[in-house]
Structure 1
Amino acid sequence: MKRFGKGLLAFVSLMMVVMIAGGIVVQADVMFTLPWRISNPDFEEVDFSGAANAGAPGIYYVHQNKVTGWSTASPTDLIEVWQDPNGKGVPAYSGQNFIELNAKDNYPIYQDIQTIPGTTLQWGFAHRGRDGVDEAGLLMGAPGNLQLIATADDGNDAWGYYTGTYVVPPGQTVTRLTFLAISTASGSITNGNFLDAVTLTIDVPGSQIGDYVWYDTNGDGVQQRDEPPAVGITVDLLNSNGNVVASTQTNDLGGYLFDDVAFGTYNIQVHLPLNGTYQYGFTKQLAGDDSTHNSHVDAAGMIYGVQSTLNGYYVDNDAGTITYSNAVIEKIDGDNQTPVAGAVFDITDNFGEVITQVTTDAQGKATIGSLATGTYHATEVAVADKYQLLTEPIDFTIGFESNESVIVTITNYLKRGSLEVVKVDDIDNNKLLAGAEFQVSDVSGDVIATAISNNSGLANFNNLLPGDYILVETKSPNGYQLNSKALNFTIPENPNGAVVITVENSKLVLPATGVNNDVFLSVGILISGGSLLALFLLRRR
């Protein structure tokens, strides 16, 4: 329970116990003071990483995003945070941190708080001057319509503490709590007006059993600040016999309370929203590690065994609601764009539980009905042997208040095969040949890939889809004849190992001239004889 401040209730007036005819009842003058929805009231939640020193030890300029809950209108986005101890010797009123208004310029700090119109809030804050008497103001109201509620005037010798009340006007569901520097003893509006220990409480009569109902829009079973309250939800209080002894509805902030509950054991029944458009249910019970932020009701909206004792209070009975919708897995063959039947998926919710298993039909579809709001994981556990099994889950989300089925398209690809070509000498098959070029084509003649045999005589073609192919040598190794024979091969479905084809090449042989060696010898003799005859005739002349 967070909306009413679990564990921080304090008595304002004593409970009057009256014994009546064998039973114990509680009179209606019981009052509890509840801390209201102010965040970081003591300025203790500050992230000082990256903060700039403001001139002395223990004094920092901190970006407003690192001061939980608080904002500033300053264009610098800075809030001046002091620590105790610090270089100026100023102690904190409570805790270790406090702030000085106006870090570098004259702008207020503020916090927007959800409020219930008509309720009376008790406010309080500690104020102190820096160099003398400083004056600051408290303003409250709707954003854009603030009214001065109180002023604080204090010197630098001690903290002053101020309290008062504020009645939330009709229709005002957000109230801005604002602190503004009015004047300082130093004369510089940026030097002075320390602030600490801001409080905001509400008096609730006879509040003993109650909590908060919200819409768990992300389905994780844990309350987040951006998840809306469930307004107008009926909540029943039942005695140990199962009889309804009180009934109420959640207010504008999703809260409910049963006042002046007698001593005994009770059960709580939270009803689902009455909306014919969507199918509602309850989120996972006791999710996460923080019981103040999760849902306590079971799937039927029940909380059992709530003990009510005199002077007791029980405000940790949260309930988160979700909606249901469907998802449809559409399984597609990524290579042929056809449905894949027989694929089996485990469906796991965001809490790690396998909630169902589905199998795709002949159209490649599997419907998962009545899924609660949240994130899911589809893990493929089986598929036809010819496909590659998916190794990573596919995530999908069921949105809140949606009647449309979520389509989850999941693609499988056929298992690929490979071809290994072994290039050898046709006479000596142990002689492996490098430099042979090959191409693989499909039966339509389209070239799929090319490869060259390496020093081990191997040319590899990988990632081939199942089907029929043609292997052709396009270039022979040096000193060998081209083997131009086309070789057909098939990559099977669900291939197991590479297809191996051995291709032989024959060595090149020098071409024959067609002339006998005796002819060459005769021609040589004739030429020699002719030369000698010519020489003899020349000498006779």
Structure 2
Amino acid sequence: MMIKKMGIATAAFVMCASLPIQTHAMSTETPQNYAMKAEQKIAEYNGGTLQSVLGATNTTTSLQAQPEEVIKLVNGGFEEPDISGISAKYAMFDASEVPGWETTASDNLIEIQRNYEGVVAPEGNQYAEINANMISALYQDVVTKPGTKIRWKVSHRGRVGVDVAEVKFGAPNNLQVIATMSTGKEWKTYQGTYTIPEGQDITRFQFEAVSTADGNKGTGNLLDNIVFSSPSNLIVSNSYSQSTVKKGKQVNYLIDVANAGGMAAGDVNLSIPLPKELDYIPDTVTINGIATSDVLYDVASHSLTVNVASIPDDSTAKISIGLKGITETASAQTSVATSYYDLGFTDHQYDANTANASVAVIANSVPTITATDKTLKKGDSFNALTGVTATDTEDGDLTSAIKVTANDVDTTKVGTYHVTYSVTDSDMDTTTKTITVTVTSNDAPTISATDKTMKKGVSFNPLVGVSASDTEDGDVTSKITVTSNDVDTTKVGTYHVTYSVTDSDGNTTTKTITVTVTSNDAPTIIATDKTMKKGASFNPLTGVSASDVEDGDMTSKITITANDVNTAKVGTYHVTYSVTDS
């Protein structure tokens, strides 16, 4: 006899500073150990003594209390022993060879079939026939705790027509008919719930043949997919794949949903309100490593719902969700609210929630490129990487990783050009920067100075009126130097002054002007004394002229500054002339 118990646990909740903390540990027993206890229990029952079998008490992360007794029968799908290698597609076994099951048949034989006569199992590959050689019953005795609610389910089928069998539960010596199955040549599922009565520490779960369609006591009443279990019980825990995530990078939110109950859970819905610091990355949800599309993301509420069709007992669904850090925070907190049913039942919904799991969202500094605009002279050599560096907060110096992605500089022509740089850090964040390169002309400066003429004795400053300019440097007048100057204004003559100026590129220009020093003699008036008769007419300018060494004829500029001549009277008079040169 094989009877299986999955362990005993109760739920405990601890409140600390208003924060619920849930932990969980499950005690388990091997089927062999449990079978020994069960057989002892049954022996005690048969001897008239009833004792309770209690297990360890632990705490759990689930907000649903676990049943104290996790109960389920063994080999409910008749998959053991395996008859896949038997060509007849059926085999008879002594009950001791069929894990979990006993028979009331006097020959103690149980018949297992596999696709016999084309009948396909509704679950797994194999099924049993109650009427192996005679009208009998198949059963299991299970250690139970009074008050425990049991889910039961069975698939039944007639072999050649409508076969009838009864489902009976109760103490081994006090079975009650729970359901009558009357089924034709299509599999039909019968199910329900059963609460262990007070004082019933051993419960027999039995299927008893009543009749067959053809009256043959050795054929009929096929059974499969049998469940006699305490409800499913999901324990949900959550964590992050790493304690920190950089802004813009992915972190996986990990959820383990373990079924510590006696049967499979179905229609498992996980509701996950996401913190504002994290964003959902579409198409990243996996269940046990396989991508799933049974996901709903609600933008308005920033929440995610993941559906898991079923989670068998004694198994864990491992769910991974890709989230992206969007806002820096020391603690982005996430929790899961889970609802589910016992697989195949919809009369009661269970809930299991988690405490918060947290992850820190930290800065993800992109690399920085240091490069400045450049001005070059026409004809200069140019290396686009000279003087350009790159650094990253996490990676440090990235100068060696800089790439030039565009460069149209031509130093043979004056113009404006551009160079674009790119660098990528270890997080695959890329920064680009573009600088302007200006190629200017390389012309020599220009000196503006003209020849001069001056009078003898005039003072002379060779820099007065002289200027210099450069295409690149602008006004360079202040940089003019006089490299030669032989001017002597005390002497009439021709002299020279030489100027020089150098721009910032080292281009030097010189220029020489001529300075002419001329005499500075006063003009000459030619006028002679005159004698005339009383009463004669007199024009004081007649016969008077003036000339100048520099200005030439100046007669027209002669002015009379005094004239007392009176030709009406005999006498001596005077006329004074004046002329001024340039």
Task: Mark yes or no: TM-score above 0.5.
Answer: no
- Give TM-score, length-normalised by structure 1: 0.33
- Give TM-score, length-normalised by structure 2: 0.30
